[in-house]
Structure 1
Amino acid sequence: MSEDPIISGVPAAARTAEPGGRPVKVRTGADQPWDPEDLAVAEGRDPTPANVERSRRKLEELGPAAIERTVP
């Protein structure tokens, strides 16, 4: 039986519980690319030029850790 890559709109890599004893795969927020605008909104800020610039610097400085601290 082959695994369906998407079940109910959730990719297999994003599911945290697998029926039938299959390995558990966990995805984190940093598993995908983020734009500074996305980070600003995820932090609850409006995507103003100042907030986007702040997020851009944060992403540049911290890399994936900037996302993990906001969207675990």
Structure 2
Amino acid sequence: MSTSQPEASRSPEASRPPGERCTPDAVLHARTGTEVSPEDVVLAAGRDLTPRNLEWAKRRIETDGPAALDKLLP
């Protein structure tokens, strides 16, 4: 007789390999305390690093400051 939980009652987290578990929100950080670069903003937005996107990111940083990155990340 098996003492393990039936597959249906296990949480989705329990079925993932240890290296693929979600990071709890309490330990996520948007910034490292350093300057926010246009490249950081472009990548956080999921865009390609192109001159046009870098200009867009520079404008966002000028408008929002470091919060430009915070608004894009959880």
TM range (shorter): 0.5 to 0.7
Root-mean-square deviation over aligned CA pairs: 2.3
Q: Which residue of 2 aligns with 1:46?
A: 48
Q: Call closer, same or farther: CA 1:30–1:53 in 2, change over 3 Å.
A: farther
SS in 2 for 1:39: helix
Q: Deviations over 1:3-47 (max 9, x none)?
A: xxxxxxxxxxxxx5xxxxxxxxx8542732121012101110001
Structure 1 spans left out of the alignment, 5+ residues: 1-15, 17-25
Structure 2 spans left out of the alignment, 5+ residues: 1-26
Q: Please, what TM-score do these two structures have when normalized by structure 2? A: 0.54
Cα distance in structure 1, aligned partners of 2:72 and 2:52: 18
Equivalent residue pairs, number: 49
Q: Percent identity?
A: 38
Runs (4 or more) in structure 1 with deviation over 2 Å come to: none
Q: Which residue of 2 aligns with 1:66?
A: 68
Q: Which has the larger radius of gyration?
A: 2
